[in-house]
Structure 1
Amino acid sequence: MLRLFRKKRSDVKVVYRYPNEKVAIFIDGGNMFHACNYMQIKINYKKLIDILRKDRWLLRAYFYTGIPSGDLPRDVREQLRKQQGFLNELQNLGIKVKTMPLKKTPEGYIEKGIDILLATDMVSLAFRNAYDTAILVSGDSDYVPVVKEIQELGKRVENASFKRTSSYELRKVCDEFILLDNIKHRFTTPLYPEKIEKPPEVRFIDRIKEFFSKIIKKEKGRKR
């Protein structure tokens, strides 16, 4: 009987699920890089994808990033080598990697066109009815018009991002928002783990010396 008088909570958000829901995940690599660089963390993308997909059928996860090209300085070539190794690891995990050349400026290299490439894929796959829900892993407000267009096609859009690079406008327009800061312990590790100092090892010869030293002390005590 007491249940009849309980007040209903108005702050509980009801999330509706489709039967046999198909999801596609779109990861803005540059946006994630800036957040990781600030927070000094490393992302395990396989774990992140598993968390975001939940128990739903995953069409594919896409990762978008820019890469330097042309005549590169030695330090940039070394960075490119490391980046290529990272991208190869993603592809081995079944993540579809899509790249565009970085634009060189007097201040360095900047990304151009990555957001357009990502948005084009989101809309194109929505038109083809390839997924029911798009999961956009980015905090860039430039994606707001794209999200609205996809919703007009009858699709849902979920947004996942870190607070550092999250846009309020993007969060507001999406059907669901996942703050990655709250669950980062499940898919990240520190970029520079603290080194745990091991106690110095005691050599066997030192143990022998200590053993005989104790015996000598005991013998001296008896003689007194």
Structure 2
Amino acid sequence: MLRSSDFKKFLQTISKDKLLITTYYYNASLDISVNQKKYLEQQKFFDFLRKIPDFKVVLCRMRKHKKDGKFIFDVKGDDVYLAVDLVSGAYENLYNIAIIVSGDEDFVPAIQKAQKLGKKVINAYFKSTSSNYLKHTCDKSFCVDNIINEIKE
């Protein structure tokens, strides 16, 4: 995971020579009752992101459920928010190129719709979570693992 101070550098690196209009970050707040320290660290990170110009933190829902006697937490709605923003942004002509940092192939229908509307979609993926279907659907794709390692050094 990148430190707050490295996040801006990451955005600049993946957007390269493109004019970065708006960045959307989809996540959910951790459960404060489970780990107050991690919750406060995450909120501090969200506050840092909100201070970056043209950066939108989109908070989704955290679902808590029990599995095998342990509580499991899942972020819910982040993929739907991203898909809606991608497609509505394409219809509203808010961008020419979208860079999606994800390996989730569930975004393919939204990406295809944006492409039909004349938009280019680039997939920045992590080796451990990449989908070949997603990579091949996008106009271009690249792995961010090396970029993150270079930034961390």
Flag whether TM exceeds 0.5 (same fold): yes
Inter-partner Cα distance in structure 2 for 1:96 and 1:188: 24
Inter-partner Cα distance in structure 1 for 2:64 and 2:146: 36
Whether 1:85 aligns to 2:29 is no
AA paired with 2:121?
V
How many residue pairs get aligned? The number is 147
Equivalent position of 1:165 in the other structure:
129
Asked which structure has the greater CA Rg, the reply is: 1
| 1:75-121 deviations in Å (ceiling 9; x for gaps) | 43332111100111111222211111201111322111110011111
Equivalent position of 2:11 in the other structure:
49
Q: Is the 8 A contact 2:63 2:75 kept in 1?
A: yes
Secondary structure of the structure 1 residue equivalent to 2:22: strand
* Residue correspondence of structure 1 range 87-102 to structure 2 within 5 A: 87-94=46-53, 95-102=55-62
Give the superposition deviation at 1:42.
4.8
* Residue correspondence of structure 1 range 101-116 to structure 2 within 5 A: 101-106=61-66, 107-116=71-80
Q: Is the 8 A contact 1:68 1:101 kept in 2?
A: no
* Residue correspondence of structure 1 range 165-184 to structure 2 within 5 A: 165-184=129-148
Inter-partner Cα distance in structure 1 for 2:78 and 2:117: 23
* Residue correspondence of structure 1 range 53-202 to structure 2 within 5 A: 53-68=15-30, 72-73=32-33, 75-94=34-53, 95-106=55-66, 107-189=71-153
AA paired with 1:160?
A
Identity %: 35
Inter-partner Cα distance in structure 1 for 2:65 and 2:35: 14
Secondary structure of the structure 1 residue equivalent to 2:99: strand
Query: TM (normalized to structure 2)?
Result: 0.87
Where relative contact order (Cα < 8 A, 6+ residues apart) is larger, the structure is 1
Inter-partner Cα distance in structure 2 for 1:132 and 1:172: 19
Inter-partner Cα distance in structure 2 for 1:188 and 1:159: 21
Q: Structure 1 regions of 5+ residues with no counterpart? A: 1-35, 190-224
Inter-partner Cα distance in structure 1 for 2:25 and 2:100: 11
| 1:169-212 deviations in Å (ceiling 9; x for gaps) | 100100001111233333235xxxxxxxxxxxxxxxxxxxxxxx
Secondary structure of the structure 1 residue equivalent to 2:118: coil
Give the superposition deviation at 1:163.
0.3
